[in-house]
């Protein structure tokens, strides 16, 4: 399929990832409601947000996997290039499309969230990724760097393994979606979890300030982890080409 159509699919898919995943965090993670006259938290919490991110990838993998490969993530694109699964010449177009989709997803989410009178993207953090005082658990920059590299490495390792031609056909989206859910369960307390530079960029642009200042880590660490995973899988586990 022509590159332009694949890039449109990537933009739509990344829109869904950011709108669905970050939307669950902004709109539904914590939600106060009344039960028998008492105020209780009806929100979905960390578990619900983790599942939401996994479901966005799982659903889009089935929707556009046959069109673009469903990267939805500059780190995934970089890791697949490193693993010999994707053309380096097309990586730039994919990454630009992913960032555009992420910004659009964050923009629509911002329009919806702003419908609540006391909403402030700056005060709420708007699901942005951060470290130190902007980490949910106040984890250091070093801890955030290690977490993002390791969790992205494992995510890309899952992607390479699940999409290997020797793996059972048709199950890759399930493994990848559940893999993303798992790493969110681990990483949300540390950085709000990125493993995706586009996902980090969209919300950060609406928060500005600290979120943009710390954005570098959520580009550098995921790409390092992804490239290491792609190169490792290719060197150690990739099936040799038949003569």
Q: What is the DSSP letter of 241?
A: P
pLDDT at 120: 93
pLDDT the model gives residue 93: 98
Tracing tokens 């909403």 back to the chain, one arrives at 119
Which segments in the chain show pLDDT lower than 70?
A: 241-243
Q: Is 43 exposed, middle or buried (0-12, 13-18, 19+ CB in 10 A)?
A: middle
Q: Which helix (H) or strand (E) holds 160?
A: helix 141-162
Q: Which residues of 8-37 are buried (b: 16+ CB within 10 A; e: fewer)?
A: bbbbbbbbbbbbbbbbbbbbebeeeeeeee
Architecture of domain 3-236: Up-down Bundle (1.20)
Q: What is the pLDDT of residue 242?
A: 65
Instruction: Give residue-wise pLDDT tens across range 8-55.
Output: 999 999 999 999 999 999 999 988 777 777 778 889 999 999 999 999
Q: Say if residues 63 and 56 touch (Cβ distance below 8 Å).
A: no
Q: Can you give the pLDDT at residue 41?
A: 81
Residue with tokens 């984890």: 139
Largest distance between two CA atoms of the chain: 73
pLDDT of residue 37: 73
């Amino acid at each position: 399929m022509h590159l332009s159509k694949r890039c449109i699919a990537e933009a739509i898919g990344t829109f869904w990832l950011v709108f669905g995943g970050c939307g669950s965090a902004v709109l539904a993670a914590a939600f106060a409601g009344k039960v028998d006259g008492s105020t209780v938290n009806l929100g979905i919490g960390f578990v619900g947000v983790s599942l939401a991110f996994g479901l966005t990838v799982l659903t889009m993998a089935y929707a556009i996997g046959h069109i673009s490969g469903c990267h939805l993530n500059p780190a995934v694109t970089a890791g697949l290039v490193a693993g010999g699964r994707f053309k380096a010449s097309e990586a730039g177009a994919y990454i630009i499309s992913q960032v555009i989709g992420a910004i659009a997803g964050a923009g629509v989410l911002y329009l919806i969230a702003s419908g609540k009178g006391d909403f402030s993207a700056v005060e709420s953090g708007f699901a942005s990724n951060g470290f130190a005082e902007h980490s949910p658990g106040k984890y250091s920059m070093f801890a955030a760097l290690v977490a993002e590299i390791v969790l992205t490495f494992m995510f890309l390792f899952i992607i390479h393994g699940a999409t290997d031609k020797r793996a059972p056909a048709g199950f890759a989206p399930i493994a990848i979606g559940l893999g993303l859910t798992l790493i969110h369960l681990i990483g949300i307390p540390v950085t709000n979890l990125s493993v995706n530079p586009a996902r980090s960029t969209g919300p950060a642009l609406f928060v500005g300030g600290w979120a943009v200042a710390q954005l570098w880590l959520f580009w550098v660490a995921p790409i390092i982890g992804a490239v290491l995973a792609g190169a490792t899988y290719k060197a150690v586990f990739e099936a040799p080409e038949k003569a």
